[in-house]
């Protein structure tokens, strides 16, 4: 009987492992094939009008298809391939509707090779504008976030500070930062400093509100336990209130980043001589809509990259709350 049970146990333990699914590989290769098909369509189908960068665009699309095929074989595109397939279909529809059939009115709609031409020919000016916008956004956002964090902790912790600051926040907080444009450009000595102030103001209010809400909502039992162990007021603020408030702080930081980016574009359109907002206005003035769409794409990638970076920082600083955060 023991021998039979041992044999049965060995058979149960020797069950073959489930083979990995080939669906992600097949899906990734299908997406890669779609990119190769778009490259072939771009190269073989003559343009309705002469575009200088059609050959470079076809080569770029083929490179994307090759990279996606390699990533699929290495099982590195398991989650990305549906989006890559949809993106390939979108680029194909965009190419056919603009460069091949001229279905969309010119010059308001540029084809993909029009954007590629901007990146290849006008990259020095575009790169300068990206650097200017990045510096203005980061400096203003950091200043506004730091001021908002300090103010939120002070208001949430101290009733005396909250008595004086809360009415001010309720009065000026709901106002959009762009409403302060005339006053900012009058009060500050340069358009760059005024733009920095507006970007900082857009980040200040959400960070302040979420921080003071987090500090005020900390469980009082945490303070009681810390006081029992001999904690002073400084320890309660730095080691109890602030760590417990950090999830709320990051919500405010994400909200402030979106607001700062919107204010950045408006401020650059009105007051400075460089930046992505200025570049978009310049392109509209010259009816260079390809340049405008190229700048909008760069702007979207810049904002998306900053959001991803902020998520990385949040995951690192709040590693002790892993499994508790749901966003």
State both tokens at 89.
């279909």
Residue 110 lies in a domain: no
Assess whether 87 and 135 both reside in one domain.
no
How large is the greatest C-alpha to C-alpha distance in the chain, in angstroms? 95
Distance, CA of 135 to CA of 148 (rounded, Å): 20
Assess whether 217 and 299 both reside in one domain.
yes
Of the candidates 110, 144, 157, 154, the one whose C-alpha atom is nearest the C-alpha of residue 291 is 110
Identify the weakest region by mean pLDDT among 20-24, 37-41, 213-217, 231-235.
20-24
Assess whether 216 and 314 both reside in one domain.
yes
> What region does 75 belong to: left with phi over 0, alpha with psi -120 to 50, or beta?
left
Of the candidates 64, 61, 65, 63, the one whose C-alpha atom is nearest the C-alpha of residue 113 is 61
Task: Supply the range of the domain harboring residue 39.
Answer: 22-104
pLDDT at position 15: 45
pLDDT at position 323: 59
Assess whether 240 and 311 both reside in one domain.
yes
Q: What is the mean pLDDT of residues 35-49?
A: 93
- Name the band, by pLDDT with cuts 50, 70 and 90, for residue 273: confident
Assess whether 247 and 169 both reside in one domain.
yes
pTM of the model: 0.82
Cis peptide before 273 (omega within 30 of 0): no
Alpha helices, DSSP H only, in the chain?
2-13, 23-44, 54-73, 81-95, 112-121, 123-157, 159-172, 181-187, 191-216, 220-228, 233-235, 242-271, 276-285, 289-317
Question: How many independent structural domains does the chain possess?
Answer: 2
Domain boundary among 45, 73, 104: 104
Assess whether 87 and 163 both reside in one domain.
no
Q: What is the mean pLDDT of residues 133-143?
A: 92
pLDDT in tens, 222-249: 888 888 888 888 888 888 888 889 989 9
Assess whether 66 and 181 both reside in one domain.
no
Assess whether 96 and 129 both reside in one domain.
no
Of the candidates 35, 105, 113, the one whose C-alpha atom is nearest the C-alpha of residue 77 is 35
Assess whether 29 and 160 both reside in one domain.
no
- Name the band, by pLDDT with cuts 50, 70 and 90, for residue 2: very low
Whether the predicted pLDDT of 46 surpasses 80: yes
pLDDT in tens, 58-97: 999 999 999 999 998 888 878 888 999 999 999 999 999 9
Whether the predicted pLDDT of 299 surpasses 50: yes
- Name the band, by pLDDT with cuts 50, 70 and 90, for residue 176: confident
Highest-confidence segment of 25-29, 177-181, 251-255: 251-255
Q: What is the mean pLDDT of residues 182-205?
A: 87
Residue 79 lies in a domain: yes
- Name the band, by pLDDT with cuts 50, 70 and 90, for residue 180: confident
Domain boundary among 75, 104, 133: 104
pLDDT at position 32: 94
Assess whether 184 and 133 both reside in one domain.
yes
pLDDT at position 186: 83
Whether the predicted pLDDT of 268 surpasses 60: yes
Of the candidates 190, 169, 181, 177, the one whose C-alpha atom is nearest the C-alpha of residue 270 is 181
Whether the predicted pLDDT of 322 surpasses 70: no
Assess whether 146 and 273 both reside in one domain.
yes
State both tokens at 296.
């909008």
Q: What is the CATH number of the domain that holds 200?
A: 1.10.3720.10
Q: Are 67 and 122 in contact (CB under 8 A)?
A: no
């Amino acid at each position: 009987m023991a021998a039979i049970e041992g044999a049965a146990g060995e058979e149960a333990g020797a069950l073959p492992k489930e083979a990995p699914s080939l669906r992600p590989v097949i899906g990734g290769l299908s997406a890669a094939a779609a990119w190769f098909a778009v490259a072939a369509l771009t190269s073989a189908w003559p343009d309705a009008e002469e575009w200088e960068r059609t050959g470079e665009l076809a080569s770029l699309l083929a490179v994307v298809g090759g990279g996606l095929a390699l990533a699929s074989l290495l099982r590195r595109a398991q989650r990305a391939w549906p989006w890559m397939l949809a993106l390939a279909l979108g680029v194909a529809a965009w190419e056919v509707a603009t460069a091949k059939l001229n279905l969309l009115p010119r010059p308001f709609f540029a084809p993909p090779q029009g954007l590629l031409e901007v990146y290849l020919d006008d990259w020095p000016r575009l790169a300068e504008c990206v650097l200017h916008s990045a510096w203005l956004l980061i400096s203003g956002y950091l200043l506004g976030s730091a001021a908002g964090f300090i103010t939120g902790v002070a208001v949430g912790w101290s009733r005396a500070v909250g008595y004086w600051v809360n009415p001010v926040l309720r009065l000026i907080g709901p106002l959009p930062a762009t409403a302060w444009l005339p006053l900012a450009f009058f009060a500050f000595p340069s358009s760059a400093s005024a733009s920095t102030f507006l970007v900082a103001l857009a980040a200040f209010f959400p960070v302040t509100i979420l921080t003071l809400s987090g500090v005020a909502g900390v469980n009082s039992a945490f303070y009681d336990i810390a006081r029992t162990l001999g904690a002073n007021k400084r320890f309660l603020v730095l080691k109890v209130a602030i760590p417990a408030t950090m999830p709320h702080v990051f919500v405010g930081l994400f909200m402030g980043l979106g607001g700062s980016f919107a204010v950045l574009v408006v401020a650059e359109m009105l007051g400075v001589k460089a930046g992505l907002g200025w570049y978009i206005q310049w392109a509209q003035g010259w009816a260079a809509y390809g340049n405008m769409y190229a700048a909008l794409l760069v702007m979207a990638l810049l904002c998306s990259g900053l959001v991803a970076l902020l998520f990385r920082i949040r995951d690192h600083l709040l590693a002790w709350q892993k499994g508790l955060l749901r966003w």
